[in-house]
Structure 1
């Protein structure tokens, strides 16, 4: 098997050495070079032509975000960011997704993490996965203005009317921040349903993602809070480290967050747990969406949803999925009603809105 070539970009010699030792233990990866800052990274990309890059965010001369922007515009290459868990670090990670980063790994203890071995397996997995992403799927420029979609006449006609209240549920993983941006910015503020979202992401980063999506969407996007009653026109993002479920109460559907229940499919939050939770709701019709991501999280939950007979399922197509794992698993399980390109998913959802 031909090894994928990796360029490591970090201003710390210690971190470069440590990341190299981790990635070199993978039989599918070969570290071919280093860069000490963003400007150096741009030059080394031209010289080495790597298959994948690991990019530190905070560096002198030119930081990781500025370098990433140039690389995505001129020599697009799948990139995994190494980010700190500070407020600034999480915000910069969201900016990196907008520019074109495929994924990120959170450093456990700051810029120079002596305990980086805690995330060794995660780093290897994410770099291996990113190295397989097709260059054609790296979108260099995106970021819609949400208000241009406010006119509902832009939406296709309703093809099927349901009589009950509606609930939209979305599950995604690798490539999800970009996909969520593409979908949520198209939905009008008048949408007649709440939206529940699970994006595989660690604690701290989901709040920044929700805030960023909120600033560019017509609907309100927020991190879900335990005990709140969900409302139409609001998207609730599961906090990192918590499973998101809902239960029926006299006041309406209530958010229940759980950081005790073990991870499912290696994730907390888990898409399966969200979908299984909403499958139990009796007086709500569900529109479930599964988008780009590794693995099969969400498929078992979709099976339970479809058994109830009151759900429609939309899966992102192979053509636009950064990673086709989660949509593929759902399609192969025969629980999907519509397969759509990313740009059509919001329109497909709106077909079921009154």
Structure 2
């Protein structure tokens, strides 16, 4: 097999040399050209037609963002951004992911040989995943274009493959805080047969992928008035900044230790005692763009907190939360230790910390950040979040896995499903940037709804409301 052709774009000749050497440590890749700015990059993409591009974010004449936008419009191909760790670089990296970049890595420290080695390993892993994802998309496209051989006249068409959820006894109603919690809509019916890719003419009402259902639940519901004491909602969006004030300092403990969440303060308690439902979401490569599409379609009066693990380095998650907060009707914030969960808000785990949801005082639910060892190669880990949700049996729980490399989240989604939580969602292959994490969950047969990205939020809203 010929090596994949790579174009390296950076305004620093020294950095171009470092990145080129890191790439060519793998015989599957060959650096065929370099460019010093975005304008040169566009010319060489059109001239040389590389398989992949590594693109610096900040460059003179034309920066990486502007070049990315033109490349994705003219000749889409996998682009991996190289980002600085300053605030502007992080914000621009989030934009790049939104505009179609495959993923990003931070620039290595040129004075630290170990850091250069670590960045090289990460870069080569992303490049291999990018090529694999491209080949899978091309294979699917070819399969769609290829005409199906005609079936013999005497034989009926073969039935489609389905996932048959295990039969369970109906979940009894339970009394919590003086209210009855009923099963999800449709729970009194036999558990539906969920096809991996159901055709439009065979979808049944209530399957989530039914176009009529999607249109019905996507209609925004009237805003519910919030009390004046709700300090987070009462301020204009531009004053809310990065999100709910928290206690990040409390999270700075030694690696491997648990952090004891502080008792919830009275000022945080408003609007939090009624939490009876919880949504937990996990994603990785392609996640920022998927989260934007997902959160844009959740109404502001959504009756459950949403807790999210997106695999990202420290500090980048803050920029991601700020960006998503400008699009969503929910309040989106980077999670901080000791935050009390509230309805109408979404919390993103900070890079470098595992996030758990724990029961707090007075019937509240609190975010706990820990510096335990990495899990499935990640911190934060989706499995760690889902594991904490498994313990919260008094809540109605919903779990979602979207695009990403690897299998993080699948094992604990299986545990949730086996415990009786059947409101489990996975993004289907057709819309995933990388169909790794969702595929792992589907293969464990613990996913009730396998949906393209644009249908996940409407179906989740229907399930929760």
Please state if 1:92 is matched with 2:103: no
Residue 207 of structure 1 is matched in structure 2 by 318
Following superposition, the deviation at residue 156 of structure 1 comes to: 6.2
Instruction: Find the aligned partners of 2:302 and 2:58 in 1 and give their Cα distance.
Output: 39
**Are the counterparts in 2 of residues 85 and 108 from structure 1 also a CA contact under 8 Å?**
no
Alignment of 1:1-354 (within 5 A): 1-109=1-109, 115-134=115-134, 154-155=216-217, 165-251=276-362, 252-259=364-371, 261-354=372-465
Instruction: Find the aligned partners of 2:441 and 2:26 in 1 and give their Cα distance.
Output: 29
Following superposition, the deviation at residue 153 of structure 1 comes to: 7.7
Q: Deviations over 1:311-331 (max 9, x none)?
A: 411000010100001000000
Instruction: Find the aligned partners of 1:50 and 1:56 in 2 and give their Cα distance.
Output: 16
Following superposition, the deviation at residue 28 of structure 1 comes to: 2.1
Following superposition, the deviation at residue 77 of structure 1 comes to: 1.1
**Are the counterparts in 1 of residues 422 and 448 from structure 2 also a CA contact under 8 Å?**
no
Instruction: Find the aligned partners of 1:200 and 1:27 in 2 and give their Cα distance.
Output: 28
Instruction: Find the aligned partners of 1:288 and 1:249 in 2 and give their Cα distance.
Output: 21
Please list every run of 5 or more consecutive structure 1 residues that lacks an aligned counterpart in the other structure. 138-151, 158-163
Matched position secondary structure for 1:352: helix
Instruction: Find the aligned partners of 1:118 and 1:216 in 2 and give their Cα distance.
Output: 34
Matched position secondary structure for 1:278: helix
Instruction: Find the aligned partners of 1:291 and 1:278 in 2 and give their Cα distance.
Output: 18
Q: Deviations over 1:86-107 (max 9, x none)?
A: 1011001011112111100012
Please list every run of 5 or more consecutive structure 2 residues that lacks an aligned counterpart in the other structure. 138-213, 220-274
Q: Which structure's CA Rg is the greater one?
A: 2
Following superposition, the deviation at residue 282 of structure 1 comes to: 1.6
TM superposition score normalised by structure 2: 0.69
User: What's the C-alpha RMSD, in Å, of the aligned pairs?
Assistant: 2.1
Matched position secondary structure for 1:182: helix
Residue 167 of structure 2 is matched in structure 1 by none
Following superposition, the deviation at residue 308 of structure 1 comes to: 1.7
Residue 140 of structure 1 is matched in structure 2 by none
Instruction: Find the aligned partners of 2:457 and 2:312 in 1 and give their Cα distance.
Output: 22
Following superposition, the deviation at residue 118 of structure 1 comes to: 3.3
Q: 1:50 to 1:170 in 2, by over 3 A?
A: same
Q: Deviations over 1:102-137 (max 9, x none)?
A: 100012448x98753331101111122123333997
**Are the counterparts in 2 of residues 285 and 311 from structure 1 also a CA contact under 8 Å?**
no
Following superposition, the deviation at residue 303 of structure 1 comes to: 1.5
Moved more, 274-283 or 123-132: 123-132
**Are the counterparts in 2 of residues 317 and 339 from structure 1 also a CA contact under 8 Å?**
yes
Q: 1:328 to 1:154 in 2, by over 3 A?
A: same
Q: Deviations over 1:195-245 (max 9, x none)?
A: 000000000100000000001111110000111110011000000000010
Matched position secondary structure for 1:319: helix
Matched position secondary structure for 1:134: helix
Q: How many residues align?
A: 333
Residue 147 of structure 1 is matched in structure 2 by none
Q: Deviations over 1:278-307 (max 9, x none)?
A: 011021111111011111000111122112
Q: 1:173 to 1:63 in 2, by over 3 A?
A: same
Following superposition, the deviation at residue 348 of structure 1 comes to: 1.4
Q: 1:108 to 1:3 in 2, by over 3 A?
A: closer
Q: 1:167 to 1:291 in 2, by over 3 A?
A: same
**Are the counterparts in 2 of residues 23 and 29 from structure 1 also a CA contact under 8 Å?**
yes
Instruction: Find the aligned partners of 1:156 and 1:59 in 2 and give their Cα distance.
Output: 41
Residue 141 of structure 1 is matched in structure 2 by none
Matched position secondary structure for 2:8: strand
Matched position secondary structure for 1:129: helix
Instruction: Find the aligned partners of 1:247 and 1:257 in 2 and give their Cα distance.
Output: 10
Following superposition, the deviation at residue 250 of structure 1 comes to: 2.5
Instruction: Find the aligned partners of 1:38 and 1:92 in 2 and give their Cα distance.
Output: 14
Matched position secondary structure for 1:351: helix
